Amino acid sequence: MPRGSNEVIVIMWRDIPAQVNAQAGRERKQVQLSDKFQRAIDRAKRKAHIYTADEDIAQWRRISLPLSGDLAEAAQREADRLDGEYSRERLGRLAFAGGFEADIDNSAISGAELLALEELEENE
């Protein structure tokens, strides 16, 4: 979708959502996801040894979805969907895998992954 069109945009760090934006023409609405997402991103960066701004910037991407209905409601609806879809366990596994869904081992959760989950629970 060309920028400036009517769309909902999910900002991702690798395969971990970070933020939801919606825009219709010049009007924009931004919804910050819950802290569990940022903690998962921070943990994944450490696991992937991403320490510099240049390395970090290269990992961000956007997913554009069609805008349906009211701008603020559409952004919140997508944020709520992501919050429900990304459980603490899924985010912990993503963090342990360095942020890539394809690298997740779906076997029994390991001690290291449990540690990542505990980090996600901090300040929740």
5 band by pLDDT with thresholds 50, 70 and 90: confident
pLDDT at residue number 7: 97
Domain extents for the chain? 7-121
What average pLDDT does this structure show over 17-43?
95
pLDDT at residue number 122: 59
Residue 46 tokens read as: 């450490």
Q: pLDDT tens-digit profile of 50-72?
A: 999 999 999 999 999 999 899 99
Q: Is the dihedral of CA 94, 97, 103, 105 positive or negative?
A: negative
